[in-house]
């Protein structure tokens, strides 16, 4: 039997938590032979703690063979103690008419506190995925608040955007979603993101050759993917939850278990590649192996792409400047 992996999940009694925890406990994230200990954090409000107790009762009632232990708490230092993986989901979601960056100052405090707690008590190799919005800047804040942990272990979720883009492309080209590879979503998890299928292939052949439609790319594909979160809020009255949990599982699974040569999109601190200043938490194409990611290098960037990549970078820099005073 393998040693259990400690997985911390914040906002565990929220919408995404409810779609996420049961899949982690059933082995969908870390493997069907990998025991896990779930360390769940919720706000210290009676309602939130009661809801968390209910979720834990349900987890118990599933009798998952891989669930080797559970902790429910309102203290980040308990939730993150020795954590190998931390999914930072808990934050306020946006409502209709808001942009994700409208949540910036409200949610920033959470990620400062949680970054500090991770710094103090988590495993020195903890792998952190930030889901709570605005995800890139929150991940940047947590990273900056945890100076003793490797900066590269802080990541933001762009996998939902990647998956959304895959489905839009598959439907436009009339191909199976699983046959598409080499897709990228550059930049921020916001409407400025740049889904880029210039290098995408279907069964090894160029997808761009099949969808040779610049007008569709600029006026339909890019905005549809960029505004999908808002479309879901409009339709459901609540932000995406099951698809977000699914993307978080994809992100962590590929990071820890490897992407087998496939490109995936992760929000990671830039190493200066593609002219993105070092440290900016930006969506890049990566491959993953043995728990490490590597940026796909030397892709040509045309004028259209450079303009989009700069626009989403400018927004991230603006968000970063907006929280600089909080980071000291």
List 12, 51, 87, 100, residue binding ligand LMR (CB under 6 A): 100
**Is the N-terminal amide bond of 134 cis, ω within 30° of 0?**
yes
Separation of alpha carbons 124 and 249, rounded Å: 22
Task: Dig out the tokens for 130 from the structure.
Answer: 């930030």
168 binds ligand LMR (CB under 6 A): no
41 binds ligand NAD (CB under 6 A): yes
Question: Can you tell me whether residue 195 is helix, strand or coil?
Answer: strand
325 is annotated as an active-site residue: no
What's 213's DSSP letter? -
Task: Dig out the tokens for 98 from the structure.
Answer: 């808001």
State the binding string over 216-255 for ligand LMR (x if CB under 6 A, else -). -------------xx-x------xx---------------
281 binds ligand NAD (CB under 6 A): no
Enumerate residues 6+ apart whose C-beta is below 8 A from 113: 76, 145
Separation of alpha carbons 328 and 326, rounded Å: 6
Separation of alpha carbons 216 and 223, rounded Å: 10
Residues in binding contact with ligand LMR, number by CB under 6 A: 10
Q: Which is nearer to ligand LMR, 35 or 134 (CB)?
A: 134
Task: Dig out the tokens for 88 from the structure.
Answer: 């930072």
State the binding string over 92-111 for ligand NAD (x if CB under 6 A, else -). xxx---------------x-
Binding stretches for ligand NAD (CB under 6 A): 10-11, 13-17, 41-43, 48, 89-94, 110, 131-133, 135, 157, 160, 189, 239-241, 244
Q: Residue numbers of the site for ligand LMR (CB under 6 A)?
A: 93-94, 100, 133, 160, 229-230, 232, 239-240
């Amino acid at each position: 039997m393998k040693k259990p992996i400690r997985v911390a999940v914040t906002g565990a009694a929220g919408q995404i938590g409810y779609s996420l925890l049961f899949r982690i406990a059933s082995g969908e994230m870390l493997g069907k032979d990998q025991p896990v200990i779930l360390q769940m954090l919720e706000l210290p409000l009676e309602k939130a703690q009661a809801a968390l107790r209910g979720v834990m009762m349900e987890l118990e009632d599933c009798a998952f063979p891989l669930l080797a232990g559970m902790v429910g708490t309102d203290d980040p230092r308990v939730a993150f103690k020795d954590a190998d993986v931390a999914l930072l989901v808990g934050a306020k979601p946006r409502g209709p008419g808001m942009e994700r960056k409208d949540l910036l100052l409200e949610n920033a405090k959470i990620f400062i506190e949680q970054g500090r707690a991770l710094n103090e008590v988590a495993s020195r190799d903890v792998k952190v995925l930030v889901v709570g919005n605005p995800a890139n800047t929150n991940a940047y804040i947590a990273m900056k608040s945890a100076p003793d942990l490797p900066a590269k272990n802080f990541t933001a979720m762009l996998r939902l955007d990647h998956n959304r883009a895959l489905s839009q492309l598959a439907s436009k080209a009339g191909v199976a979603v699983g046959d598409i590879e080499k897709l990228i979503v550059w930049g921020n998890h916001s409407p400025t993101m740049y889904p880029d299928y210039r290098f995408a292939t279907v069964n090894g052949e160029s997808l761009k050759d099949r969808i040779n439609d610049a007008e569709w790319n600029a006026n339909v594909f890019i905005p549809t993917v960029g505004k999908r979160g808002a479309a879901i809020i409009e339709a459901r009255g609540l932000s995406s939850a099951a698809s977000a949990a699914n993307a978080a599982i994809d992100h962590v699974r590929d990071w820890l278990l490897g992407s087998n040569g496939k490109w995936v999109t992760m929000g990671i601190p830039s190493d200066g590649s593609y002219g993105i200043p070092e440290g900016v938490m930006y969506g890049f194409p990566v491959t993953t192996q043995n728990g490490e990611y590597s940026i796909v290098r030397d892709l040509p960037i045309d004028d259209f792409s450079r303009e989009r990549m700069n626009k989403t970078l400018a927004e991230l820099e603006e968000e970063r400047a907006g929280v600089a005073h909080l980071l000291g």
